[in-house]
Amino acid sequence: MENIHPIFDRLLTQKDKEQFLNQKAKVLWFTGLSGSGKSTIAENLEKQLFSKGYFVQVLDGDNTRTGINKNLGFSLEDRLENIRRVAEISKLFINSGIICINSFVSPTIEIRNLAKEIIGPENFIEVFINTPLEVCEARDVKGLYKKARAGEIKGFTGIDSPFEAPENPEVEILTADQTVEDSVNDVYTKIINHISLS
């Protein structure tokens, strides 16, 4: 053991990996109602950033609730555990220098604070995809609002489960009167300085 230099005992740091990838690792935490546009903006933003040389990972219900979180439902307790695990995974990505775009309803201030604490406030950018309930309901992309109104889904955020709007989000996107392209560009412009090294 004594012939190993102490530096080899340590893992490479977030900073080492950020320099390798030429970017600052951040979690862009998208919060908003179902149908507000989180996934649509996340998917397009990922492509836009990737095409500019940034290394990005989207985390959402599709790639977490089907795997690591498949034993969880939508009670407040399970939502909290869902977000806790997602936040812990994001922290590992951050340690690898990767920019995460996390697309989760994450309906309460408590839930988002938990994520922010786990990830570290310095790595966390709250992005409020602010779309009025009426607009989300009119879009009804997955037909979920119709089912919630009919009582076929219980505890649906915005209908019979609360959504607490962020009080002081770093970024707020008002999608109701914007095209998808405008919203993506809007987020891009507001976050680009946070993820660039120079």
The CB-based long-range contact list for 184-187 (8 Å cut-off, 24+ gap) reads: 184/41, 184/44, 184/45, 184/48, 187/28, 187/41, 187/45, 187/127
Q: How far is the CB of 176 from ligand ADP (least distance, A)?
A: 8
Interacting residues of 55 by C-beta distance below 8 A, sequence separation 6+: 21, 23, 97, 98, 99
CB of 10 to ligand ADP, least distance (A): 39
Q: Which of 85, 139, 149, 190 is close enough to bind ligand ADP by CB under 6 A?
A: 139
Residue nearest to ligand ADP (CB): 37
Give the residue with the Cβ less far from ligand ADP, 23 or 175: 175
The residue range among 6-14, 67-75, 151-159, 174-182 that interacts with ligand ADP, by the rule CB under 6 A, is 174-182
Tokens 């397009």 belong to which residue? 44
Q: What CA–CA distance (Å, rounded) separates 41 from 152?
A: 28
- Based on the shown chain and the rule CB under 6 A, indicate whether residue 158 belongs to the binding site for ligand ADP: no
Residue 107, interface with ligand ADP (CB under 6 A)?
no
Active site residues: 106
Q: Within 13 Å of residue 143, how many CA atoms lie on the same side as its CB?
A: 2
By CB under 6 A, residue 134 contacts ligand ADP: no
Of positions 14, 17, 40, 65, contacts ligand ADP by CB under 6 A: 40
Phi, psi dihedral angles at 43 (to 5 degrees): -65, -45
Number of C-beta neighbours around residue 108 at 10 A: 19
190 binds ligand ADP (CB under 6 A): no
The smaller minimum CB distance to ligand ADP, of residues 21 and 135, is found at 135
Compose the 64-103 pattern: x for residues touching ligand ADP by CB under 6 A, - for all others.
---------------------------------------x
The token pair at 44 is 């397009």
Instruction: Give the shortest CB-131-to-ligand ADP separation in angstroms.
Output: 8
Q: Is 166 in the site for ligand ADP (CB under 6 A)?
A: no
Give kind and range of the element (H or E) at residue 37. none
Q: Which two tokens stand for residue 14?
A: 């977030």
Q: Which residues bind ligand ADP (CB under 6 A)?
A: 32, 34-41, 103, 139, 141, 175, 178-180, 183
